[in-house]
């Protein structure tokens, strides 16, 4: 069955440090890939998406993600984390052109001052 795995439940980084959140998917073809962020009590906000083409995609708030077909991964990165980045991050895939988004379990990011 298709699945999305975010292996890290929590990650803590210091403000100003770099960040990488992992995402792996299980699917034969290349799906559409997304990263969303959810602040407490809020809905999900789209950070970035990958459909095709350049495997390094830029998003909002200084985030980027790289699609690696050989590893079935779509990891999210940010070179310098700000305290306001503390939130929960969800990786999602859209399979079979069905328009259904399948979400990972999320990674909660904590930022140390």
Partner 1 sequence: DAGVIQSPRHEVTEMGQEVTLRCKPISGHDYLFWYRQTMMRGLELLIYFNNNVPIDDSGMPEDRFSAKMPNASFSTLKIQPSEPRDSAVYFCASSLVDGTAFFGQGTRLTVV
Q: Which residues bind partner 1 (CB under 8 A)?
A: 32, 34, 36, 42-46, 49, 51, 90, 94, 97-106
Cα–Cα distance measured from residue 48 to residue 46, given in angstroms and rounded to the nearest whole number: 6
* Nearest-approach distance from CB 106 to partner 1, in angstroms: 6
Instruction: Pick the closer one to partner 1 by CB: 76 or 104.
Output: 104
Instruction: Pick the closer one to partner 1 by CB: 6 or 81.
Output: 6
Q: Which value, to the nearest 10 degrees, does the dihedral of the CA atoms of residues 18, 36, 111, 82 take? A: 60
Residue 77: C-alpha distances to residues 28, 35, 48 (Å)? 25, 11, 11
* Nearest-approach distance from CB 94 to partner 1, in angstroms: 4
């Amino acid at each position: 069955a298709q699945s999305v795995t975010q292996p890290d439940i929590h990650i803590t980084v210091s403000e100003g440090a770099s960040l990488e959140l992992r995402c792996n998917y299980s699917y034969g073809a290349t799906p559409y890939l997304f990263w969303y962020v959810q602040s407490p009590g809020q809905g999900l906000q789209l950070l970035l998406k990958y459909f095709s083409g350049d495997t390094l995609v830029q998003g909002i708030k200084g985030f980027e993600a790289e699609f690696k077909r050989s590893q079935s991964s779509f990891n999210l990165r940010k070179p310098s984390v700000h305290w306001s980045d503390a939130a929960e991050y969800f990786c999602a895939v859209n399979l079979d052109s069905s328009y259904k988004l399948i979400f990972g379990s999320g990674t909660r990011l904590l930022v140390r001052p």
